[in-house]
A and B are shown apart, each in its own frame.
Chain A
Amino acid sequence: MAKIAVLVKQVPDTNSKIIVSGNSVDLSSVKMVMSPYDEFAVENALRHRESSGGTVTAITVGGPSSEKVLKDAKAIGVDEIVRVDCNSYMDSNALQTILSSIISTEGFEVVYCGKSAADTGAASTGPGVAEHLGWSSVSNISDSNFDDGFSVVAPMNDGNAVIAVSLPAVISCDKGNTKVRKPNVKGIMQAKRASVDVRSCDIPPTSVNIISQSLPPAKPAGKKFEGGQNASEVARLLRDEANII
């Protein structure tokens, strides 16, 4: 029996347009979804439970509106859903301190998370939480196997490697060949009724402060040519104008 946690985060749908007003990004009219890689984390967590028995708990750190991603995880099949109530900005150390504290007090043995969140793109949380806990970690896994001990497939030097992992560990998940299951009707009904376990926390002090958020500088319009024969002109520009060739 394993006590399994999966970290999920709410982020803007990757199709959405990001708007900046004043000095910061304005998400008020953006559709929010579970960060894409977290879907693979949920899938791997459920496979782990299927092989060893036990429970999967989905955890998010966020405000009340982020409970939707917990309900989504519940609909796919996790057992418990927990929201650590915190709606303000946290730097990586603050977030990881909060996460590692709940993970150690609840006695989880393995934690799955996304390889990076679609908003930060940081890829810091998995390895960072592991270090806070003194656990091992493997990042960017593309597959997992529970038949002969626990092993994962992850990029290593020049290729992919099968890596044996001893627990406790934090596993950050890439897409790879993982096919995620979709919620069924029963799951969706259960998720509707499920109640979120809300925890409070003290936010540790932050040492990285946001000064501004802005749109990336617009790229000057490029040169556009009609017809394949112009590929020779583009090759010349790559040499003479861009100095690349």
Chain B
Amino acid sequence: MTDTIVIAELNKGKVHPTTGELVVAAGMMGNSCTVIVPCSDSSVADSISSTSGIDKIIVAKSDIFSSYDASGWCSAIDSISPNGIIITSASPQSKDLAARLAARRKISVVQDVVAIENGNLTSPIYSGKAMQTVSLNGDAVISIRQNVFDSAPQGGSPEVSVMDASGNVTTAVKELISRASERLDVSEANIIISGGRGMGSPENFSHLEKIADTLGAAVGASRAAVDTWDDIPHSMQVGQTGKTVNPNLYIAVGISGAIQHLAGMRSSKYIVAINKDPDAPIFQHADYGIVASWEEALPVLQSSLSAMM
């Protein structure tokens, strides 16, 4: 068995909870687990300092980590990471880093792992229409989808060291274009409520936003909604040419369930569908289906959920 190195997932300056899932995955791939925390302020690592299953935490401190630059991050992390199997989250940015780290070490990368058995790795292919299991011969970099492994429990006392890391930035941010909406992004959310063409107009998305506010959810959309209405930005699109999401709960409202939409959300843990057409394909993938117009169903859903919170 080889050593494993987990690259902690960071989000808004904090260690993202999925990092605990990466530690569990690491435990299935090797025997000693080092977690590298790329940051510009070493206190962010405090939140994982008692996670069990970690042998060593290396806080990689550098200004470079305040904003993502693929080449700079890769060289900085590579310079302090021991050899072994490197494990990252499968967020878009971490998949990018995973690919670069693998290339730097002339090893391969396996992305979007959703199961590990006897060291063999399973990932979706063809947008989740099939699964592929591979074996590794030597070290590799692997990225792990969120919400598929349990999180590591508390109760560890890893050794913590702080190291300065450096790398060369090769791209420069000229200007941040602020996000159209201040809402949670679909790629970060544990609950997503999405609307399709069946919503009738972009104004009607306010009904989805209300439920999203109740649940702490993000609002997503089908491509038909994004293409038809200028007010629904592409950043909300879920599917083949939008975002791939893996939340605990996905609520599809007025969405037929085209294969390209399913490609982006079929691996959600629970799927709820609200559609007035009883034969809509989305119902074949729904754990809970409601055959009704959204005009009828959403107010009831809203008031029942509010009563529970």
Which of A's residues lie within 8 Å of B, judged by CB? 12, 14-15, 17-18, 20, 25, 36-37, 91-94, 96, 118-132, 135-140, 142, 151, 153, 155-166, 169, 175-177, 206-216, 219, 222-232, 234-239, 242, 244-245
Contacts and interface: CB of A to CB of B under 8 A. Distances in A.
B203 interface: no
Given A36-B240, A124-B95, A222-B287, A163 B270 contact: no
B31 to A, nearest CB: 20
Given A162-B173, A213-B132, A244-B248, A127 B68 contact: no
A151 B174 CA distance: 9
Given A213-B125, A231-B290, A159 B177 contact: yes
10 contacts: A127-B97, A128-B100, A151-B174, A159-B176, A159-B178, A163-B171, A215-B129, A224-B278, A242-B269, A244-B191
Interface in B69-119: 69-71, 74, 92-93, 95-100, 102-104, 106-112
A91 B92 contact: no
Contact of B304 (A25, A159, A175, A236): A236
A121 B177 contact: no
Contacts of A124: 95, 98-99, 102, 109, 111
B260 interface: yes
* 4 A-B pairs with least C-beta separation: A228-B296, A136-B170, A131-B103, A228-B292
A239 to B, nearest CB: 6
Contacts of B299: 228
Contacts of B74: 131
Interface stretch (B19-27, B56-64, B135-143, B156-164): B135-143
Contacts of B290: 224-225, 227-228, 230-231, 234
A131 B71 contact: yes
A157 B103 contact: no
B107 A207 contact: yes
Interface of B: 12, 67-71, 74, 92-93, 95-100, 102-104, 106-112, 120, 123-138, 140, 170-179, 191, 215, 234-235, 240-242, 244, 248-249, 259-260, 263, 266, 269-272, 274, 278, 283, 285-293, 295-301, 303-305, 308-309
Nearest to B247: A244
Nearest to B214: A245
B126 A223 contact: no
A26 to B, nearest CB: 10
Given A137-B70, A162-B174, A222 B286 contact: yes
Contacts of A235: 301, 304-305, 308
Contacts of A222: 271, 283, 285-289
Nearest to B129: A18
Contacts of B300: 228-232
Contact of A211 (B135, B177, B304, B305): B135
A224 B288 CA distance: 6
Contact of A216 (B130, B244, B308): B130
Given A37-B241, A153-B177, A238 B100 contact: no
A227 B291 contact: yes
Given A156-B173, A162-B175, A235-B304, A93 B191 contact: no
Given A36-B240, A164-B171, A231 B126 contact: no
Contacts of A207: 107-108, 136-138, 140
Given A136-B171, A162-B173, A223 B287 contact: yes
B71 A163 contact: no
Nearest to A176: B234
B104 A213 contact: no
A78 to B, nearest CB: 21
Contacts of B263: 14
A119 B129 CA distance: 10
Contacts of A159: 176-179
A208 B136 contact: yes
B173 A140 contact: no
A131 B241 contact: no
Nearest to A93: B108
Contacts of A237: 288
Contacts of B111: 120-124
B283 A120 contact: no
Given A123-B111, A160-B177, A227-B291, 11 more contacts: A92-B108, A94-B108, A121-B111, A121-B127, A136-B70, A164-B171, A166-B170, A222-B286, A222-B288, A230-B300, A238-B249
